[in-house]
Each structure stands twice: as structure tokens, then as C-alpha cells.
């Protein structure tokens, strides 16, 4: 499952990854806001969102290093 996610990220362009990163960061903000207000039902969603952000950042960094 993780490999499928990473492969799909590798196929995206850098611009698409930047957009995905912004979306995930706003999603994390919303999840944290829901947690603070007591509306969040699934607290594991925060950890999953953080992992998704890390995966996107990793792919972006790999591309950056291969260009250099």
C-alpha cells in the first residue's frame, strides 16, 4: 500500500506535488483545529496526514538532489 502511494507521488510533476503539499498542510491545520474544539472523531487522521506530508516532502527532496 505504501509503495503504491509513493509510486503515484513519483509520477506527479513537481507543481502537482507542491499543490498536494499545500492541500495536506491545510488539511492538517483543519484536523488540529477540530481536535482543539473537540469535534475530531478520528485522532489517527492527524498522524496519517503528517505521514502524507512527509512522503510528499521526501519525493520533492529526492528530485531536488537528483537535479543538483
Q: What is the pLDDT of residues 30-39, one digit of tens each?
A: 999 999 999 9
Domain boundaries, the chain: 16-67
**59 in Cβ contact with 10 (< 8 Å):** yes
pTM: 0.91
Domain at 16-67: CATH architecture: Orthogonal Bundle (1.10)
Q: What is the pLDDT of residues 2-59, one digit of tens each?
A: 788 888 999 999 999 999 999 999 999 999 999 999 999 999 999 999 999 999 999 9
Amino acid at each position: 500500500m505504501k509503495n503504491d502511494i509513493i509510486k503515484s507521488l513519483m509520477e506527479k510533476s513537481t507543481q502537482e506535488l507542491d499543490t498536494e503539499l499545500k492541500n495536506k498542510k491545510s488539511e492538517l491545520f483543519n484536523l488540529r483545529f477540530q481536535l482543539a474544539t473537540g469535534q475530531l472523531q478520528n485522532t489517527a487522521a492527524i498522524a496519517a496526514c503528517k505521514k502524507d506530508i512527509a512522503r510528499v516532502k521526501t519525493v520533492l527532496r529526492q528530485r531536488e538532489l537528483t537535479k543538483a
